Amino acid sequence: MSLFDRRRSTFFTLFMIFYVFYNPTDSGAVQLNSQNLDMTLASNELVFINFYAEWCRFSNLLQPIFDGAADKVKELFPEAGKVVMGKVDCDHESSIAARYHITKYPTLKIIRNGQPTKREYRGQRSTEAFVEFVKKQLEDPIKEFQSLKDLQNLDTKKRIIIGYFDRRDQPEYSMFRRVATNLKEDCQFHVGFGEASQAMHPPGQPIIVFRPDVAVSHENDETYQGTLTNFDELNVWVQQKCVPLVREITFENAEELTEEGLPFLILFHNPKDLDSIKDFKAIIEKELLSEKQNVNFLTADGERFAHPLHHLGKSAGDLPLIAIDSFRHMYLFPKFKDMYTPGKLKQFLEDLYSGKLHREYHYGPDTPSEPVVSNDIQAPVQVTKPPESTFKKLAPSKNRYTLLRDEL
């Protein structure tokens, strides 16, 4: 080989090393770090992130599946700014892990329009499931109605946001759609344009209205009074309306609710009994609003959640009933009808905070009634144990390196 050929070969080798180093393969999920994360989040409608640790066996099992899904998503949605599937090595990017409160591996989070959603991905860990999830996330979150009569048939058990606009290309509608994309899992969104909505607003002045879940609450319709072109202001208002003080717990969101780390005050009800739900919500709003930072107020279908009722020694025939799940034990509110007595539910919570509920389960009432005079030998105090928590296995771990053993 001549000197010229050797030099050309050396140059080609160095060129390829340089090319590969600065132009890594674009297959698989995008490796996110402190240099490219914020730009990626700001420039894409949806970012689906796998937070992993290299030492974690479950992370290693998930990695090729997630990467394969990322390749298929790129084929389906090649346009820039639509969707990115990314991954973060939490050992090397500890500041990012802390920013998103990652405490277990792997954790899959969804970021929409730069803002993290409350719900983690908890579905099946397969390429097909990931692709279908992304496709569903990118569906239009707003349903268009053609006449006001269409709004008469909306689900009265759902919280709904309705927009009335002159036309689709209004900047106010673009803002409305952006908010709907962020909160579509918490509310239904509907919109009407032109003739379909002109009876509901003056020309050139679009309005947005909240319609409550009237079948299960005593709330009323409310019109947004803020600026329609201010994303933060509109997003906060819609979030307040879509995420109520009292929420329904389901098998799908139970783990998510436990991760908030607050004890549960739960109304277990018959699925056909809507009045008890309305009354429970109204009493919580009136008497326990100050406790929303300390406890999660929930309703639960007592037929579907038969297991916690069994822990309490109850069945569907005992509904409705109220209980606290502290993630350690469960405590039954003595009489459901006492809920209507002002202060009774608040005292129930205060007895939890003070330890009285737990103490009385062990040793009986703190203040027994008149002592009974007897010459009989007193039997030893029977120490009882409160029912164990139904949801404690789902409660958040304080150990940052706890493994999430999801089905792979």
Task: Collect all residues with Cβ–Cβ distance below 8 Å to 104 and sequence separation of at least 6.
Answer: 397, 402, 403, 404
Residues 43 and 67 occupy one common structural domain = yes
Distance CA 331, CA 334 (A): 9
Residue-wise over 43-60: b if at least 16 C-beta within 10 A, else e?
ebbbbbbbbbbeebebbe
> Does residue 264 have a pLDDT over 60?
yes
Residues 62 and 131 occupy one common structural domain = yes
Last residue of a domain, one of 104, 137, 170: 137
Residues 132 and 117 occupy one common structural domain = yes
Distance CA 299, CA 249 (A): 6
Q: What is the pLDDT of residue 251?
A: 87
> Does residue 386 have a pLDDT over 90?
no
Q: What is the pLDDT of residue 160?
A: 97
pLDDT in tens, 132-165: 999 999 999 999 999 999 999 999 999 999 999 9
Establish if 386 belongs to a structural domain.
no
Last residue of a domain, one of 242, 265, 294: 242
Residues 309 and 354 occupy one common structural domain = yes
Contact between 349 and 265 (Cβ < 8 Å): yes
DSSP code, position 303: T
Higher-confidence residue: 11 or 363?
A: 363
Backbone angles phi, psi at 172, to 5 degrees: -65, -35
Residues 235 and 165 occupy one common structural domain = yes
110: domain CATH number is 3.40.30.10
pLDDT in tens, 97-110: 999 989 889 999 99
Domain count, the chain: 3
Last residue of a domain, one of 137, 168, 200: 137
Establish if 405 belongs to a structural domain.
no
Residues 127 and 8 occupy one common structural domain = yes
Establish if 338 belongs to a structural domain.
yes
Residues 343 and 225 occupy one common structural domain = no
Q: What is the pLDDT of residue 103?
A: 85
Contact between 224 and 210 (Cβ < 8 Å): yes
> Does residue 289 have a pLDDT over 50?
yes
Q: Which domain range does residue 10 map to? A: 3-137
Residues 153 and 36 occupy one common structural domain = no
Residues 211 and 269 occupy one common structural domain = no
Tokens at 133, concatenated: 């999830």
Q: What is the pLDDT of residue 182?
A: 86
Residues 96 and 148 occupy one common structural domain = no
Establish if 44 belongs to a structural domain.
yes
Comparing CA positions, the residue from 252, 242, 111, 121 lying closest to residue 183 is: 242
This prediction has a pTM of 0.71
Q: What is the pLDDT of residue 25?
A: 42
Radius of gyration in angstroms for the set of CA atoms belonging to the chain, rounded to a whole number:
27
- How many CA atoms, within 13 angstroms, populate the side-chain half-sphere of residue 341? 10
Alpha helices in 82-147 (DSSP H): 94-99, 127-137
Residues 209 and 318 occupy one common structural domain = no
